């Protein structure tokens, strides 16, 4: 069984958000870190937002965050919602099925059973289980460092001092948060 690119992107995005629960993440940092096209990522963000799995905040200081606790989000649920009614084989498609064997084919029943077992096994896995205590994953999902200068000169000499960039908090490496067991 092969999952779609959209589901693959959704799981990467959710793992990234789970690794950075303490802050909003940006589409561009997720795309850069997870090697995802921003165009494809935007479609997945929209779908996960509509499913109330992701919370999106617009604006200059906006970003994305999980709308569901990672220990409450079942991977099987995400797969079903993203994959939808995508047929696993031609014989499962009502409109495009051109197979003359569909009515007598026993493989169709076996494939249906295999799909049910596949989703049932994913139902046992939470997003938290994928991320929690996974130090190798957390190391890979560290935020993209900010490329801007973090201080700027005051407008007039002698007035004020260096100003802290409000976006600097995006590059905090405190992703190793406590896990729910």
pLDDT above 50: residue 115: yes
Residue 108 included in any domain: no
62-85 pLDDT per residue, tens: 899 999 999 999 999 999 899 876
Residue 77 included in any domain: yes
Q: What is the pTM of this model?
A: 0.72
Residue 95 included in any domain: no
pLDDT bin (cut points 50, 70, 90) of residue 162 is very low
Range of the domain at 75: 5-85+127-145
Residue 180 included in any domain: no
Residue 165 included in any domain: no
Predicted local confidence at residue 90, as pLDDT: 61
pLDDT above 90: residue 8: yes
Residue 122 included in any domain: no
Count up the domains in the chain and report the number: 1
Phi, psi of 83 (to 5 degrees): -70, -30
Percentage above 90 pLDDT, the chain: 43
Determine the average pLDDT of the residues in 11-40: 92
> Contact at 8 Å (CB) between 40 and 13?
no
pLDDT bin (cut points 50, 70, 90) of residue 114 is confident
Q: What CATH number corresponds to the domain at position 10?
A: 1.10.10.10
Predicted local confidence at residue 143, as pLDDT: 53
Distance (Å, whole) CA 10 – CA 82 = 8
Determine the average pLDDT of the residues in 150-176: 41
Residue 97 included in any domain: no
């Amino acid at each position: 069984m092969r999952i779609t690119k959209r589901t693959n992107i959704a799981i990467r995005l959710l793992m990234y958000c789970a690794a950075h629960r303490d802050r909003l993440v940006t589409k561009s940092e997720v795309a850069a870190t997870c090697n995802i096209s921003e165009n494809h990522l935007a479609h997945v963000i929209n779908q996960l937002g509509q499913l109330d799995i992701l919370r999106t905040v617009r604006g200059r200081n906006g970003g994305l965050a999980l709308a569901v606790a990672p220990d409450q989000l079942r991977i099987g649920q995400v797969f079903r919602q993203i994959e939808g009614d995508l047929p696993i084989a031609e014989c499962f498609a009502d409109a495009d099925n051109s197979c003359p064997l569909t009515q007598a084919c026993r493989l169709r029943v076996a494939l249906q059973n295999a799909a049910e077992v596949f989703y049932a096994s994913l139902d046992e896995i939470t997003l938290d289980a994928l991320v929690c205590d996974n130090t190798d994953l957390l190391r890979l999902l560290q935020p993209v460092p900010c490329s801007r200068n973090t201080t700027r000169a005051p407008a007039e000499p002698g007035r004020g001092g260096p100003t802290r960039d409000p976006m600097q908090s995006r590059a905090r490496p405190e992703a190793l948060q406590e896990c729910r067991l």
